[in-house]
Amino acid sequence: MFELITNKYNNDSCDHLLDNLEDDFENSHTFVAQIFSAVILFFLLAFNSDLMIFGKKPNKVNIFITSLLFSLICFILSLQYFKEYYHDYGILSIKCQSVHKNKGDYPFRYMIPLGVSLGFVFISIGLIFMIIGQMI
């Protein structure tokens, strides 16, 4: 399977492939950030007693289950995002070893996205702990 994946990349130059990976990262980053923003907005609305999106006498179990579900969705999404980027980056890194050794901006363009995507994983874990802590 690894050979099939690497053969897919053999026709393009490393610079072009790494640029495409960077563009894919930016698009994915925007999507994941929008999902996180929507979930955090939901948390703000759900736990604000003045807004009462769950009614005047909210059922804490409903709030907990819904919030936990959204947090788990964020966790799965961010973990998938990290895994896909890390996988594609690993393949291109092997193929383009001679190219990225000479790039001055290489760490900023291709390593920081790994950190950002891993940051989304940690944020989603933090959201899960926040929800559990809110219910205790």
Report yes or no on 4 lying in a domain: no
**How many Å is the Cα radius of gyration of the chain?**
20
The whole domain housing 73 covers: 31-135
The pTM of the full predicted model, rounded to 2 decimals, is: 0.60
> What is the H or E stretch that residue 114 is in?
helix 112-135
Q: Which two tokens stand for residue 95?
A: 């193929």
From CA 14, how far away is CA 81, in angstroms rounded? 22
Report yes or no on 50 lying in a domain: yes
Number of folded domains in the chain?
1
The count of other CB atoms within 10 Å of the CB of residue 23 is 10
Which residue did the predictor score with more confidence, 1 or 105?
105
Q: What pLDDT sits at residue 2?
A: 41
Specify the range with the lowest mean pLDDT, choosing from 12-21, 29-38, 74-83, 115-124.
12-21
pLDDT averaged over every residue in the chain: 71
Report yes or no on 20 lying in a domain: no
8 Å CB contact between 113 and 27? no
Q: What pLDDT sits at residue 37?
A: 79
pLDDT digits (tens, 9 = 90+) for 17-59: 777 777 777 777 777 777 777 877 777 777 666 666 666 676 7
